[in-house]
Amino acid sequence: EVKLLESGGGLVQPGGSLRLSCAASGFTFADFYMSWIRQSPGKAPEWLTFIRNKANSYTTEYNPSVKGRFTISRDDTQNVLYLQITTLRAEDTAIYYCAKLLYDATYYYGVVDAWGQGASVTVSS
């Protein structure tokens, strides 16, 4: 069974930084593209970023809305996905989900076939 368990959320002051972690199990983590998605209270999910696997040089893509403040990374030896967030703003308040991307036939696609339970981040003074 695929499991994704986020940690590192909490209350942060505006301007602060945070690093979220996602411990993955139940699948060969190193093979898969992984992503972060957030959801503000009462809103639709917002895709933030994804990272490719080693075979694709761990390259990354970002939503322009967060590029420059958010950094995705992974540790395939520990099966952990990370999201570093800097210069936090009130509008970054959300549930942050770790997500596994779909592998279909021969390629990876921007479809989330497994979600974590989410880490709550509140930005407030």
Name the site residues for another protein (rule: CB under 8 A): 44-47, 61, 63-65, 97, 102, 104, 109-113, 115-118
* Element (DSSP H or E) covering residue 83: strand 80-85
Q: How many other C-beta atoms lie within 10 A of the C-beta of residue 51?
A: 22
Q: How far apart are CA 9 and CA 24, in angstroms?
A: 17
Shortest separation between residue 36's beta carbon and another protein, angstroms: 12
Q: Which of 48, 59, 61 is nearest to 22 (CA)?
A: 48
Residue placing its CB nearer to another protein in the complex, 64 or 68 = 64
Shortest separation between residue 77's beta carbon and another protein, angstroms: 26
What's the token pair of residue 93? 């308040």
Shortest separation between residue 114's beta carbon and another protein, angstroms: 8
Residue placing its CB nearer to another protein in the complex, 23 or 102 = 102
Give the 3-state secondary structure of residue 91.
helix
Residue placing its CB nearer to another protein in the complex, 61 or 76 = 61
